[in-house]
Structure 1
Amino acid sequence: MSVDMQHLAINFIALTDSGEHKAHYRDDLIGNGPAVATLVEQLHLAYNGKPAKGYASFNAEKSDRVVNALADWQAEQSNFLGFAKATTDALVVELSQHQLPETGYLLLAHYRYLASEFLLVCLLGSKDHFELSDQLELATSRHLDIGRMQLAARVDLTEYAVNAAKGNYISFIRGRAGRKVADFFLDFLGCDEGTDARVNSQKVLSSVEEYLGAAEFANEEKTAARRQVFDYCEERAKAGQEVVLAELSAVIDPEQENGFLHYCAEQQLEVAEQFPVEVKELKKLVKFNGAGGGLSLSFDEKLLGERVQYDVKTDTLVIKGTPPNLRDQLQRFTQGYSSFDQS
């Protein structure tokens, strides 16, 4: 996998001693080169790897600063550096209005991946690393903290150009800080949230299960189909692409490629032809897990009915064959630790 890097701009947003946000601008773009291409690829992979994303589209009435700057750049009335400065200015205004203490490096990466063109906007923090020279002299270097990317959004510029009316050409990381941060980033970009990937995923789960039952799949066929559905959706999500219903139909039932497609139409299940999904939600297709009351359990779906038996009436699980490390702990506890060699 590789991305075709086009432009990369980096500006820095800091807090002054009086608590006001101030932008520090780089005078030119980051030059193209292998290291820069690797950085953009890491940003792309880190963003795709975030499990919880929302989807949105521009609303010029909400805020036109970024929308207008993007339109000027795409119309070649300004260059990418000018677009980056205008976007940074818009973020400073939004941070001040929301009275948030967020600071960091604002990266705007324009790149191509597969058949699509993307614009990734992210605010990253940094962390200091320590280095030792051959003479054991200590030095520090500052690194971008890509692993903790939380404030980020990506515009599918290709989809925006050819199918803006559909919406959902902007994705963003929901993050762990709750809706307040997500709302602030949407306000900064001038977006309204659209399709909920989690709801789409739940709809896929229920629709697939309905079809497997209606088509009278055998138990082992159901297990194989669920795994194929999950693998396909996970691959699409990691590539930053939406699930295509026609492709999903062929994955579920290769012998009847349009079987699931026709079933959704006949049952009026309202599954879109193309939609984003949330991989975390789809894991329920292939794995059971839960925790509470001091108990934590997780096992593959294919084990239910074989090594794992569930009695609905008594709400009881019977597990045949425990993992070696758990078995060792249980045996030591029940037989007394002193009876084992502790060496």
Structure 2
Amino acid sequence: MSVEMQHLAINYIALTDSGEHQAHYREALIGRSGAVANLVEQLHLAYNGKPAKGYAAFETEKSPKVALALADWQSGNSDYLGFSRATTDALVQELSQHQLPETGYLLLAHYRYLASEFLLICLLGSKDHFELTEQLELATSRHLDISRMQLAARLDLTEYAVNREQGHYISFIRGRAGRKVADFFLDFLGCAEGTDAKANSQLVLASVEEYLGAAEFAPEEKTAARRQVFDYCEERAKAGQEVVLAELSAVVDPEQENGFLHYCAEQQLAVAEQFPVEVKELKKLVKFNGTGGGLSLSFDEKLLGERVSYDLKTDTLVIKGTPPNLRDQLQRFLQGYSAFEQQGD
């Protein structure tokens, strides 16, 4: 891992007895150390691991507080500590306006990863851990709950500096709490949602399938190409990077590196030169799955036509060879049912 920490600021947002939000500021930045670098790396990995993200850009019609604070810091008119305090103030104000009870530790991590510079802003809760001393006394310690990161956004500072017109230099976690919380975090940042990673992924799915058909790939070649496309996109997403169309083209068809690229242009497919993707959506390249009516099925794409066959007219799926654990459950159930039936006779 090549995460290089630059700055880390932490402030705490609490609720007063009267129900008002109040910020508690740390008087200095967190000093650099191996432990702090490890924390920033964990934040980076936890954020990258979140599957559902949206993409946005600063919006002039919304509150410009975070954007102005960012500009002051980058121009040298304020330091990173001042930027963190201004950002915390903006969050407190937004929480109060939306009347949300959210509290926690606001972390602002500035770091470099590979060739890009990032700013990760996240509001984390905490959890208490219990331990016993050598004298068997009970002690508690408070830990940041990184695994439950939900309110978080990341600004690609490199993209923001050189390619901000694309409008997707800010990513944010959609989370499970619904649109209200997602909208609140966008309002806090002063940005509006733009690029749709899910729509991009669906376009990639359709475009790749079209190309594989037009180029008359053999069935086994299609399976290999789909897996290569998924692996490439997954690797880029996990690294927090966008998919590059020219690179994707070489992955789709290594023998004709620009074949997919030229096909997209000739067919006027609206595939951008660089775009974010959603890994969850791209799994359809390599796996079939579905749930409904008390039935849940999932199998690799390469098994279709071999161990799995589907009749479109009768909507019938035939599976040859079941997983050992499923086979064991079925045999036990049927044997038990037969024995019960014989006893009844």
Aligned pairs for 1:171-320 (under 5 A) are 171-320=171-320
Structure 2 residue matching 1:60: 3-state secondary structure: coil
Structure 2 match to 1:23? 23
CA distance in 1, matches of 2:64, 2:198: 29
Instruction: Report deviation, 1:60.
Output: 3.0
Structure 2 match to 1:64? 64
Q: What amino acid sits opposite 1:243 in the alignment? A: V
Structure 1 match to 2:323? 323
Q: What amino acid sits opposite 1:192 in the alignment? A: A
Structure 2 match to 1:130? 130
Unpaired segments ≥5 residues, structure 1: none
Structure 2 residue matching 1:235: 3-state secondary structure: helix
8 Å CA contact 1:186, 1:192 repeated in 2:
yes
CA distance in 1, matches of 2:230, 2:317: 25
Structure 2 match to 1:140? 140
Structure 2 match to 1:90? 90
Instruction: Report deviation, 1:133.
Output: 1.1
Provide Cα deviations, 1:107-164, integer angstroms capped at 9, x if missing partner.
Answer: 0000001111100000000000001112211111000000000000000001111111
Provide Cα deviations, 1:264-307, integer angstroms capped at 9, x if missing partner.
Answer: 00000110000000000000000000111110000000000000
Structure 1 residue matching 2:81: 3-state secondary structure: helix
Structure 2 residue matching 1:182: 3-state secondary structure: helix
Q: TM-score, normalised by structure 1?
A: 0.98
CA distance in 2, matches of 1:259, 1:202: 20
8 Å CA contact 1:55, 1:194 repeated in 2:
yes
CA distance in 2, matches of 1:332, 1:40: 50
Provide Cα deviations, 1:12-67, integer angstroms capped at 9, x if missing partner.
Answer: 00011111000000000000010000000000000000000000011133011111
CA distance in 1, matches of 2:220, 2:93: 57
Instruction: Report deviation, 1:338.
Output: 9.2
Structure 2 residue matching 1:336: 3-state secondary structure: helix
CA distance in 2, matches of 1:112, 1:337: 62
8 Å CA contact 1:60, 1:67 repeated in 2:
no
RMSD (Å), alpha carbons: 0.9
Structure 1 residue matching 2:236: 3-state secondary structure: helix
Structure 1 residue matching 2:36: 3-state secondary structure: helix
Structure 1 match to 2:11? 11
CA distance in 2, matches of 1:4, 1:335: 60
Structure 2 match to 1:42? 42
Structure 2 residue matching 1:216: 3-state secondary structure: coil
Structure 2 residue matching 1:268: 3-state secondary structure: coil
CA distance in 2, matches of 1:338, 1:294: 24
Structure 2 residue matching 1:155: 3-state secondary structure: strand
Unpaired segments ≥5 residues, structure 2: 340-345
CA distance in 2, matches of 1:83, 1:61: 21
CA distance in 2, matches of 1:139, 1:336: 51
Structure 1 residue matching 2:289: 3-state secondary structure: strand
CA distance in 1, matches of 2:271, 2:60: 29
Work out the percentage of aligned pairs sharing the same amino acid: 86
Structure 2 residue matching 1:223: 3-state secondary structure: helix
Instruction: Report deviation, 1:217.
Output: 0.4
Q: What amino acid sits opposite 2:306 in the alignment? A: E
Q: What amino acid sits opposite 1:281 in the alignment? A: E
Structure 1 match to 2:342? none
Give the aligned length: 339
CA distance in 1, matches of 2:318, 2:134: 60
Instruction: Report deviation, 1:337.
Output: 7.1
CA distance in 1, matches of 2:188, 2:120: 14
Structure 1 residue matching 2:313: 3-state secondary structure: coil
Change (3 A) 1:190 1:317: same
Q: What amino acid sits opposite 2:56 in the alignment? A: A
Structure 2 match to 1:80? 80
CA distance in 1, matches of 2:226, 2:338: 46
